[in-house]
C-alpha cells in the first residue's frame, strides 16, 4: 500500500493520536514532516524572491538615483544665508 499525500492525509485528521496504531502514527508523522517541509520550502522561496528583487533594484542603479535625489532635495531645502 502506497501513501498518497494528496488524498490519504484526510484519513488521519479526525483521529486522536492515542487511538492510532503504530502504522497510523508513522503516517501522521510523515504527513507532519511533509507539511513542515512544504512550509519551509515556501518560506525559502519568498526569501529568494525578495533577494532577487533587491539585487535587481541595486544593480539597476535605482538606489543611487534615489540617494542622489534625496541629497539634492535636502541641499535645496536648507536655508541659504
**Average pLDDT, stretch 70-79?**
82
Please tell me the pTM assigned to this model. Answer: 0.55
SS3 state at 33: helix
Q: Is the pLDDT of residue 18 over 70?
A: yes
Side-chain half-sphere CA neighbours of 48 within 13 A: 6
pLDDT for residue 66: 87
CA 71 to each of CA 7, 10, 57, 67, 68: distance values in angstroms, whole numbers, following the listed order: 59, 59, 19, 6, 5
pLDDT in tens, 19-59: 888 988 888 888 889 889 999 999 999 999 999 999 998 89
Enter the C-alpha cell of residue 50: 525578495
Amino acid at each position: 500500500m502506497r501513501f498518497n499525500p494528496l488524498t490519504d492525509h484526510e484519513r488521519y485528521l479526525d483521529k486522536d493520536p492515542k487511538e492510532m496504531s503504530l502504522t497510523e502514527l508513522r503516517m501522521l508523522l510523515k504527513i507532519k514532516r511533509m507539511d513542515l517541509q512544504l512550509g519551509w520550502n515556501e518560506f525559502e522561496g519568498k526569501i529568494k524572491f525578495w533577494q532577487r528583487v533587491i539585487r535587481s533594484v541595486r544593480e539597476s542603479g535605482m538606489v543611487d538615483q534615489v540617494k542622489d535625489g534625496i541629497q539634492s532635495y535636502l541641499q535645496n531645502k536648507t536655508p541659504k544665508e
